[in-house]
Amino acid sequence: MKINMAATVAIVAATQIASSYRVKFTRSEFLELVKVAQPKIIYHVRRMHFFAYEGVVMYTFDCQDNDFTQRVLNAIEFSNQPWSE
Protein backbone atom coordinates (compact mmCIF):
# COMPACT_ATOMS: atom_id res chain seq x y z
CA MET A 1 0.00 0.00 0.00
CA LYS A 2 1.39 3.38 -0.99
CA ILE A 3 0.90 6.19 1.55
CA ASN A 4 0.39 9.69 0.15
CA MET A 5 2.29 12.77 1.33
CA ALA A 6 -0.57 14.03 3.53
CA ALA A 7 -0.68 10.71 5.38
CA THR A 8 3.10 10.74 5.80
CA VAL A 9 2.96 14.26 7.26
CA ALA A 10 0.21 13.17 9.67
CA ILE A 11 2.28 10.22 10.84
CA VAL A 12 5.33 12.40 11.41
CA ALA A 13 3.25 14.97 13.29
CA ALA A 14 1.72 12.28 15.51
CA THR A 15 5.11 10.85 16.39
CA GLN A 16 6.54 14.28 17.17
CA ILE A 17 3.89 15.03 19.79
CA ALA A 18 3.83 11.52 21.22
CA SER A 19 5.99 10.43 24.10
CA SER A 20 6.97 7.04 25.41
CA TYR A 21 3.91 7.15 27.67
CA ARG A 22 1.06 4.84 26.70
CA VAL A 23 -2.42 4.41 28.14
CA LYS A 24 -4.44 1.26 27.44
CA PHE A 25 -8.25 1.37 27.20
CA THR A 26 -11.14 -1.06 26.87
CA ARG A 27 -13.23 -0.76 23.70
CA SER A 28 -15.93 1.48 25.18
CA GLU A 29 -13.42 3.76 26.92
CA PHE A 30 -11.32 4.08 23.76
CA LEU A 31 -14.34 4.92 21.60
CA GLU A 32 -15.40 7.56 24.15
CA LEU A 33 -11.89 9.05 24.09
CA VAL A 34 -11.98 9.13 20.27
CA LYS A 35 -15.15 11.26 20.53
CA VAL A 36 -13.41 13.65 22.93
CA ALA A 37 -10.00 13.84 21.22
CA GLN A 38 -11.37 13.82 17.65
CA PRO A 39 -8.20 12.45 16.01
CA LYS A 40 -8.17 12.65 12.21
CA ILE A 41 -6.37 9.32 11.86
CA ILE A 42 -6.39 6.11 13.89
CA TYR A 43 -3.33 3.90 13.41
CA HIS A 44 -3.56 0.10 13.32
CA VAL A 45 -0.79 -2.45 13.93
CA ARG A 46 -1.71 -6.13 14.30
CA ARG A 47 -4.46 -6.15 17.01
CA MET A 48 -3.78 -2.61 18.28
CA HIS A 49 -5.47 0.67 17.32
CA PHE A 50 -3.86 3.88 18.60
CA PHE A 51 -3.46 7.64 18.27
CA ALA A 52 -1.53 10.38 20.05
CA TYR A 53 -3.43 12.76 22.32
CA GLU A 54 -1.88 15.43 24.55
CA GLY A 55 1.55 13.87 24.14
CA VAL A 56 0.47 10.38 25.15
CA VAL A 57 -0.26 7.34 22.98
CA MET A 58 -3.79 6.04 23.61
CA TYR A 59 -4.43 2.46 22.54
CA THR A 60 -6.70 -0.55 22.68
CA PHE A 61 -6.71 -4.16 21.54
CA ASP A 62 -10.52 -4.31 21.58
CA CYS A 63 -11.60 -2.44 18.41
CA GLN A 64 -12.03 -3.17 14.71
CA ASP A 65 -11.38 -0.77 11.81
CA ASN A 66 -15.11 -0.36 11.19
CA ASP A 67 -15.60 1.02 14.73
CA PHE A 68 -14.20 4.36 13.55
CA THR A 69 -15.45 7.09 11.24
CA GLN A 70 -11.88 8.37 11.03
CA ARG A 71 -9.43 7.13 8.47
CA VAL A 72 -7.56 4.05 9.74
CA LEU A 73 -3.97 3.69 8.52
CA ASN A 74 -2.22 0.37 8.78
CA ALA A 75 1.31 0.69 10.12
CA ILE A 76 4.07 -1.89 10.07
CA GLU A 77 5.36 -1.52 13.61
CA PHE A 78 4.66 0.24 16.91
CA SER A 79 7.44 1.06 19.34
CA ASN A 80 7.62 3.21 22.43
CA GLN A 81 11.42 3.34 22.27
CA PRO A 82 13.15 6.65 21.47
CA TRP A 83 14.31 7.06 17.87
CA SER A 84 17.85 5.91 17.17
CA GLU A 85 19.73 4.98 14.03
Rounded Cα distance, 7 and 73, in Å: 8
Rounded Cα distance, 10 and 46, in Å: 20
The residue extents of the domains of the chain are: 5-74
| 9-64 pLDDT per residue, tens | 565 555 555 456 889 999 999 999 999 999 999 999 999 999 999 888 999 999 99
Rounded Cα distance, 25 and 10, in Å: 23
